[in-house]
Each structure stands twice: as structure tokens, then as C-alpha cells.
Amino acid sequence: MTNKYREEAPGYTMTTVMEEAARCLLCHDAPCSAACPADTDPASFIQSVRFRNLKGAADTIRSNNALGAICARVCPTEKYCELACSRSGIDVPIDIGGIQRFVTDFEQQGDLKIIEKGDSNGKSVAIVGSGPGGLQTATTLLEKGYAVDIYEKNEKAGGYLTYGIPEYRLPANIVNYEIQRIIDLGANIKYNTTVGKDITMTEIKANHDAVVVAVGASEGKVLSMFKDNPYVESAVDFLARVKENQDDIVDIPGSAIVIGGGDVAMDVSTTLKRLNVKNVTDVAYEEFDEFKASKKELAGTQKQGVTIVDGYVPERVNGNEVTFKHRNIDGELKIKADTIILAVGQKVNTEGLGFVTEHGEVKFKGYKAKDEKVYVTGDIAEGDKTVVWAVRKGKEVAEEIDHDLLGGN
Ligand SMILES: Cc1cc2nc3c(=O)[nH]c(=O)nc-3n(C[C@H](O)[C@H](O)[C@H](O)COP(=O)(O)OP(=O)(O)OC[C@H]3O[C@@H](n4cnc5c(N)ncnc54)[C@H](O)[C@@H]3O)c2cc1C
Ligand code: SF4
């Protein structure tokens, strides 16, 4: 693999991880643990690391999170556990993600098998979609003794873990390892199978006691003025293309305009720079003080030399030339580039699944759909749209199904 895709952040060594863990205040009622959406309990695994009990630390992480090695790399910890960390009052928060990465790397190197399949309870559940929501739901159900079939439209599992988040932030070998462990636990993944097209919901329901729909928001939104424009591609299509063809990416443009100000726009801009695209301009609706992208991602993108223009909205497009207007001041900006990539959000495609969407989203309260055998989870269920929340929602929907089918015993 070429350098441009190699994982960016170096990991800790045994010595440096001990130094970082030694900064932890071992707080009573640790705020970091209360702030983790997946209940991964940093206070407890950091304490184990301090005692050099890496197996115990891995046990703690795995008891709550089937995707612990992935969350260690991509979780926006600055919004959750590290935001709550008491050490911030002294200097800087503990690098909880970094310590978790060290522990899960140790677990992978030792090929520890911590999660175990439960004894069969005779019930079976179908899951539509193998992104983080579907994968965590499958794990919790397998631990409880359910048989699990996952229907996945793509040829690989993982959803945005496999086809979205760039390699330099989340290496494919980490994703594949976590997925393989869920397969080893008993998940039966049926690849290249689009539910609603290759198989109907009615057929799936007839063969399972419950169905969980975890299809995510897997399509990029396209603003109407850009429809059918040959220069335009959605951010998620572009990132999927790069991940699919890492060593052999074709059609590298000389210049690019990226439209959007969130983390996905930062991923696209940084990826373009890593592919040696000379001029990359990111134009965002938000002004800098209201940017949606995390500070870490924004700084990383700026470091790559991407020009970021804030506060502008696209007004018209003529081929590959876009005219933008400033939101608050009089000002017009015309930019021409070889390609235009839209990072303006993702929408849900529920064709054939029996759900209605509103502005590209499925609106339900909780995890139950209208049909009593059908549940939703992951990005299409209420709550944050992050991997750690997909883990949380996956566990919660599995508990709810277990309660409905077997009384939760
Ligand atoms: C570029 C990008 C970067 C991101 N970076 C981060 C990050 O750094 N940290 C973070 O926490 N979150 C990040 N996210 C958000 C995170 O990836 C999502 O919140 C998460 O993947 C949602 O999980 P999910 O299982 O609901 O859906 P998805 O990951 O979207 O998975 C849905 C799965 O369902 C399948 N599917 C869809 N329709 C059907 C059908 N009809 N039949 C069968 N299968 C179907 C899809 O192929 C896919 O595999 C990022 C998202 C993107 C797009
Ligand atoms: S809040 Fe910070 S200092 Fe306290 S236990 Fe958690 S990681 Fe350690």
C-alpha cells in the first residue's frame, strides 16, 4: 500500500501508553464513562492498563462494544468522553481513544476471543444492512443465542466503515478483522443481496422472528442545480471509489471544488490532496465559528493545503464553473475546476422496505417500525449519526427484541 493511504496517527508503545494512563486521575463516578454513548467505560479500562492488565482492559472494552478497535480510531471523543474528562481542568484531557487503540491492537495481535456466542434459544433475526448498526445488533443477538442472517447489498460488509471513512483514518485490516470476528461468532452474511429488489421484506419476515432494518443513509444528497451535471459527483460515491481502488485510482483531476463544511467534506478534501490534486477548494455554507467539522478534521485539512472558503452558498452552475454568493455580505465568487464534489449530506433509500422518508430521513420514535415484527437501528434510528451511537443503538434494539420475543431472560 502506498504511503498516501497509511494510517496517519502513530499508535502508543507500552512505555508511552503507561505514561498517558498515569495522567488519569482515576475519578470516582468517572465522568468519561458516563459520557460514552456505548458505555465503553474508559475509567475502568485505563485503570487496568495502569496495572499492566491489558487482557482485563480488552475484556472491559469488548463487554460493551463489538467495534472497539474501530471506535478507538474514529470516535469523535472530543464530543463525548474526552469532553467530560476531569483532567481537562489541569491541562489536557486523557487521550482515551489512543489508549483504547493500544488495548485493541494488543487484543488483535494476541487474537484474543473475548465475545462468546450464547446457547441457541431457537429464535432467528434478519438484519438488513451490515454497517456498524447491523454489526453490533448481530453481535448482541448472537451473544444471547439468536441465529442471525444479515442481508447486505454490497459485495463487502461494513457500510461506511468499508466504503466511506478514508483508509488513513481507519485501515481496512482493522475493519475486516472486527467483521471477521462477528462472522466467526455465527453471523451469516448474504452479500450482493438488496432487500426490496433481490428479496422482499415479506419473504424475510416469513423466515425470521424479527427483522432489523439498518440501511443507514447510504446515498449522497445532490442539490437540484447540480443534477445530471457530468462534472459532479457525491462525496460518498467519490470516497467509495477511492476505497475500492486504493492502489489504482483513475481519473485524478487537476483541480476540485468540494461543497460542504462537515467532516465528510474534510475527508474528501484531504483525500484529494493525498491523491496529489493540486488545487482543492472547499466552499462551506457555515462561517468558521459555526463549522460542523470537528476541529481536528478541519485542522488536518488545512494542514494539507486545502483552501477553505466559508460563508458561501452555490447560486448557479454552468458546466464546471460554480458561482457562489456570500450569505451575509455582498460578494460573488466564481470558481472553475475539473471536478465538483458535493458533501451536503446523505439520505436514506428505503425503496422496497415499506418505510416513508421525510427529507431523506426515516422518522420514528424509538426502534419499533409500524409493523410489529420490524425494528430500525443505526443512522436511521433517532440519535447521533456516529459509529459509537450505532453501537449503542445496536445494543439497545437487540435488548428490545429479546424483551419482545423472550421477555429479556
Ligand atoms: C465519509 C464519512 C465519514 C464518516 N466518519 C465518521 C467518523 O469519523 N466517526 C464516526 O463516528 N462516524 C463517522 N461517519 C458516520 C458513520 O459512518 C455512520 O454513522 C455509520 O456508518 C452508520 O451506521 P449504519 O449501520 O446505520 O449505516 P451504514 O454504515 O450506512 O451501513 C448501512 C448498510 O446497509 C446496506 N444497505 C442499504 N440498503 C440496503 C438494502 N436495501 N438491502 C441490503 N443492504 C442495504 C448498505 O450497503 C450498508 O452496508 C462517517 C460517515 C461518512 C459518510
Ligand atoms: S474523567 Fe479523565 S481523568 Fe477521570 S477517570 Fe476518566 S479519563 Fe481518567
CATH 1.10.1060.10 residue window(s) in the chain: 3-109
**Stretch 75-95: mean pLDDT:** 95
CB of 22 closer than 6 angstroms to any ligand 2 atom: no
CATH number of 124-217+348-406: 3.50.50.60
Q: Is the pLDDT of residue 179 over 80?
A: yes
* Fold for the domain defined by 3-109: Fumarate Reductase Iron-sulfur Protein; Chain B, domain 2 (1.10.1060)
CATH 3.50.50.60 residue window(s) in the chain: 124-217+348-406, 220-346
Q: What is the CA radius of gyration of the chain?
A: 22
Mutate to test the pocket of ligand 2, among 26, 85, 96, 103 (most ligand atoms within 8 A of CB): 85
CB of 108 closer than 6 angstroms to any ligand 2 atom: no
- Identify the band that residue 8 occupies on the pLDDT scale cut at 50, 70 and 90: low
Nearest ligand 1 atom to the CA of 379 is 26
Nearest ligand 1 atom to the CA of 393 is 26
What are 65-79's pLDDT values in tens digits? 999 999 999 999 999
CA 335 to centroid of ligand 1, rounded, Å = 31
Q: Is the pLDDT of residue 2 over 70?
A: no
Q: Is the pLDDT of residue 244 over 90?
A: no
What are 19-71's pLDDT values in tens digits? 999 999 999 999 999 999 999 999 999 999 999 999 999 999 999 999 999 99
What single DSSP character describes residue 117?
P
Handedness of CA 10, 14, 15, 18 (dihedral sign): positive
Q: Is the pLDDT of residue 5 over 80?
A: no
Q: Cβ distance 91 to 37 under 8 Å?
A: no
Give the number of the ligand closest to the Cα of residue 77. Answer: 1
Q: Cβ distance 338 to 320 under 8 Å?
A: yes
Give the number of the ligand closest to the Cα of residue 32. Answer: 2
Nearest CA to ligand 2 atom 4: 27
294 vs 283: CA distance, rounded Å: 16
Q: Is the pLDDT of residue 93 over 90?
A: yes
CATH H-level superfamily of 220-346: FAD/NAD(P)-binding domain (3.50.50.60)
216 torsion bin: left (phi>0), alpha (psi -120 to 50), beta (else)? left
CA 161 to centroid of ligand 1, rounded, Å = 7
**Stretch 302-325: mean pLDDT:** 95
- Identify the band that residue 1 occupies on the pLDDT scale cut at 50, 70 and 90: very low
Q: Is the pLDDT of residue 142 over 60?
A: yes
Q: Is the pLDDT of residue 3 over 70?
A: no
Give the number of the ligand closest to the Cα of residue 98. Answer: 2
Of 244, 231, 138, the closest CA to residue 181 belongs to 138
Q: Is the pLDDT of residue 247 over 80?
A: no
